[in-house]
Amino acid sequence: MQYPAQLLDTLGALGTLTERGEVTFDWRDGVRYYRTADQSDSPDR
């Protein structure tokens, strides 16, 4: 799943998830999106 960074910042989860290595991020259209490390985006599913 992907979430706008602002949502995770609001939830107070961004720092914790980043430290654990459970999220990665990419930029699209000037917005930073974080992707969870689960396999939900895998084409195998």
Span 7-43, pLDDT tens digits: 666 666 667 777 777 777 778 888 878 777 774 554 4
Residues of the domain holding 15:
2-36
First vs last C-alpha separation in the chain: 13
Residue 43 within a domain: no
DSSP state of 12: T
Q: Is residue 24 part of a domain?
A: yes
- The secondary element (H helix, E strand) that includes residue 40 is none
Per the domain annotation, does 44 fall within a domain? no
DSSP 8-state secondary structure symbol assigned to residue 9: H
How many residues comprise the chain?
Answer: 45
In this prediction, residue 18 carries a pLDDT of 73
Residue 44 DSSP code? T
The structural domain count of the chain equals 1
Whether 9 is covered by a domain: the verdict is: yes
Give the global pTM: 0.38
Instruction: Report yes or no on 8 lying in a domain.
Output: yes
Is 16 among the domain residues?
yes
Dist CA 44 CA 6 (whole Å): 29
